[in-house]
Structure 1
Amino acid sequence: MVQDHSVDTPAPLSPWATGIEKPLRIAFILREHFSMVAFTAAVDTLVTTNLVTPDPVFEHLTVGVSSGTVLSDLGIEVSTSTTLENLRLDSGRIDMLVVCGGYRSPLEVAPRLLHTLKTAEHQGIRIAGLWNGGIAMAQAGLLNGRECALHPDNHAYVKEHFPTISVSTNAYVIDGAYATCAGPVSTLEMMLKLIGQMLHNAHIVRAVREILSCDQVAEQVGPMPLNVGDDPTFPPALQTLLALMRANIEEPLSLAELAECADISRRQMERLFQTHLDTSPSRHYLELRLVHARRLLLQTNKTILDIALASGFVSSSHFSNCFRDYYGMAPTAARHDRDRDDTH
């Protein structure tokens, strides 16, 4: 008699298995003038995930802060599924909140939104912010002592108003239950990372990435840098020079110091900038400092003199002249326009 010594072994799990018994529900809170591109990038990752899995694993709904319709940055009105007033977080049916901001989204405190975020925190719900959506998270006290990613135009605002928060140079940050990103491209990457954490299935994430990122030149490896405007094909010396300029705004380096740090001659440095950026090193450096100054001007309440010094100018008059030449208006006029817009 032949004895059967085999034992029952569980069937191998399908590569598409998630262990999710019911779809995870993601609520997108749309702030006025939210970035439509960032919002659709986030939703697209969820919809595409549902397409590659045997059963839907995500549901999503849209939420207005105070109204059932919200105007996007494209001027398109979006009808929301509900409003914050009617959003039930105690039902156990919301697995993640995503605050969608945009270039012109308001920075002022929205009490009902802050209450919702604090309630979600107490209930252990994941929370994410797109573009400047992280500012509402900061206002709710969720990011104290943490790192976050924001659009560069909002860095100065957060550094001034929330000194305990570390503003990252990466385009997205996932810190525990909180995630933030700076724009549409980083939204896609951040959402893919979050999906991987929620589903514990790298196979699904790879499939979604292949569908949505088929036209990318190369897959991003490691942290996604915020300064993505620099062409990775730039010569190493030029990349070094650009990084040095960005890191030395308040106390600019001389052209001779820049060339020495990059281990090239000044003439070689000038040729690099002219060939690849169609400008001179001094002009590019000045523009970087003026862009930085404009962010401080619009996002902080620092004095004109403080902004001039923080941007590497020796006097407010020199700063004002350079600012007027570049932007076509004086720094005081730009701030006046900001304050006027804030009152409307």
Structure 2
Amino acid sequence: MSNSNEQRHFSHRLRDTNSAFLPKRETNTKPISVGFVLQPHFSMMAFTAAVDALVTANLVQAAPLFSFTTYGLQSTQVQSDLGIEISANRILGEMMLEGEGALDVLIVCGGFRCSLSEYTPLSQLLKATAKRQKILGGLWNGAVPLAHAGVLNGLICALHPDNHAFVQEGFPQVQVSPHTMVIESRILTSAGSNSALEMMLTLIERLHGTNTVRAIREILSSDGITNDGHTSADNDPTLPDSLRTLLRLMSCNIEEPLGIEELADYVGLSRRRIERLFQSHLETTPSRYYLELRITHARRLLLQSSVSISDIAVACGFVSSTHFSHCFKEFFGVPPSQARLNRS
């Protein structure tokens, strides 16, 4: 067993799964300020997908990476495409592009029934934003106000297919892409709710790196769990079939962990071959991955149930609650009892 003062680190697969719960290093980095302009009848799904990416990004780091503010055109009460009225934080005229509280990113939220007519105050604001080299974005048909402002001239944009003809006819200097998302210099555009999420993840990756986005995807990866209960890692098509079988065996045998020889017998591979598979594809050893899988399962039980710590230790294959507590603290920086107290 390692020294109790030494913190263990998860391998890259399970580090992403546990990223929101690991000890964080404090930083003095100022959050990137994002503004969302909510046009009347904006797409609620596209907007919430974009915001979800930002909020989740804040969960995987010690200090918040982003802050966001919503703006109505003339009122703080804005009706979405679902007929639900949303209270924006401010109105357009209160937006700051310079000084304390200035925005770094400005995104226009469109929707199927949003007006395609130019709103001059918004055009002026978008021009001023572009002039200051800020990042601009458009969700659904949010590219239309960008086109009215002239900031898309000579560029390619993505927007909802229903508006392709309108932009092609009215803005000959703007090229409409058949793709659902386009990244052009400091301008990002997307055509719907799914592409809104991908657009924001692309922005986050550009600003904060691949590791942050990978951790976000892991938290938002509920669709990666199949009907038989296996996780996305178990069914990752980039992994060899034999390795995926091994991962499923481990996932299904948490309470009574299988030994390496038992795993080898199940898949018909030598111990050495199994070790090479784990090292090549998961950058860890089979025993280490198995421990990380069990401690991850324990973390979920600890934070999501009222099961006693001693019962969790047994359910996750640890020889004693003391051994479990030591392992938990080495990975997460606090003992299980403290983690449970902090879960709220």
Corresponding letter in the other structure for 1:123: R
- CA deviations 1:175-222 (Å, max 9, x no partner) are 0000000000000111000001111x2111001012223305899xxx
**Structure 2: stretches of 5+ with no match in the other structure:** 1-14, 227-231, 234-344
1:82 partnered with 2:83 = no
Take 1:54 and 1:128, find their aligned partners in 2: how far apart are those partners? 27
**1:191 paired residue among 191, 194, 200:** 200
Deviation at 1:119, TM superposition (A): 0.8
Secondary structure at the residue paired with 1:215? Answer: helix
1:202 partnered with 2:221 = no
Q: Which has the higher contact order (CA 8 A, sep 6+)?
A: 2
User: Cα–Cα, structure 1 residues 116 and 20, in superposed 2: closer, same or farther, change >3 Å?
Assistant: farther
Kindly indicate whether the alpha-carbon contact (under 8 Å) linking 1:20 and 1:57 is maintained by their aligned counterparts in 2: no
1:114 partnered with 2:114 = no
Corresponding letter in the other structure for 1:94: L
**2:153 paired residue among 144, 161, 164:** 144
| Correspondence 1:250-269 to 2 at 5 A | none
Output the TM-score relative to the length of structure 2.
Answer: 0.57
User: Cα–Cα, structure 1 residues 190 and 84, in superposed 2: closer, same or farther, change >3 Å?
Assistant: same
Secondary structure at the residue paired with 2:113? Answer: coil
Take 2:144 and 2:204, find their aligned partners in 1: how far apart are those partners? 23
Take 1:17 and 1:164, find their aligned partners in 2: how far apart are those partners? 47
1:213 partnered with 2:194 = no
Question: Percent identity over the alignment?
Answer: 46
Take 2:40 and 2:221, find their aligned partners in 1: how far apart are those partners? 28
Secondary structure at the residue paired with 2:196? Answer: helix
1:67 partnered with 2:85 = no
Take 1:196 and 1:19, find their aligned partners in 2: how far apart are those partners? 18
| Correspondence 1:17-56 to 2 at 5 A | 21-56=29-64
Kindly indicate whether the alpha-carbon contact (under 8 Å) linking 1:26 and 1:96 is maintained by their aligned counterparts in 2: yes
Take 2:207 and 2:217, find their aligned partners in 1: how far apart are those partners? 16
Please tell me the root mean square deviation across aligned C-alpha atoms, in Å.
Answer: 2.1
- CA deviations 1:213-262 (Å, max 9, x no partner) are 3305899xxxxxxxxxxxxxxxxxxxxxxxxxxxxxxxxxxxxxxxxxxx
Kindly indicate whether the alpha-carbon contact (under 8 Å) linking 1:150 and 1:182 is maintained by their aligned counterparts in 2: yes
Kindly indicate whether the alpha-carbon contact (under 8 Å) linking 2:26 and 2:62 is maintained by their aligned counterparts in 1: no
**Structure 1: stretches of 5+ with no match in the other structure:** 1-13, 220-344
Take 2:120 and 2:150, find their aligned partners in 1: how far apart are those partners? 13
Take 2:161 and 2:204, find their aligned partners in 1: how far apart are those partners? 25
Kindly indicate whether the alpha-carbon contact (under 8 Å) linking 2:27 and 2:62 is maintained by their aligned counterparts in 1: no
| Correspondence 1:1-344 to 2 at 5 A | 21-91=29-99, 93-199=102-208, 201-216=209-224
Kindly indicate whether the alpha-carbon contact (under 8 Å) linking 1:35 and 1:100 is maintained by their aligned counterparts in 2: yes
Kindly indicate whether the alpha-carbon contact (under 8 Å) linking 2:71 and 2:91 is maintained by their aligned counterparts in 1: yes
Take 2:119 and 2:26, find their aligned partners in 1: how far apart are those partners? 37
Name 2:239's counterpart in structure 1. none
Take 1:213 and 1:102, find their aligned partners in 2: how far apart are those partners? 26
- After TM superposition, the runs of 4+ consecutive aligned structure 1 residues lying more than 6 A away are 14-20
Kindly indicate whether the alpha-carbon contact (under 8 Å) linking 1:50 and 1:56 is maintained by their aligned counterparts in 2: yes
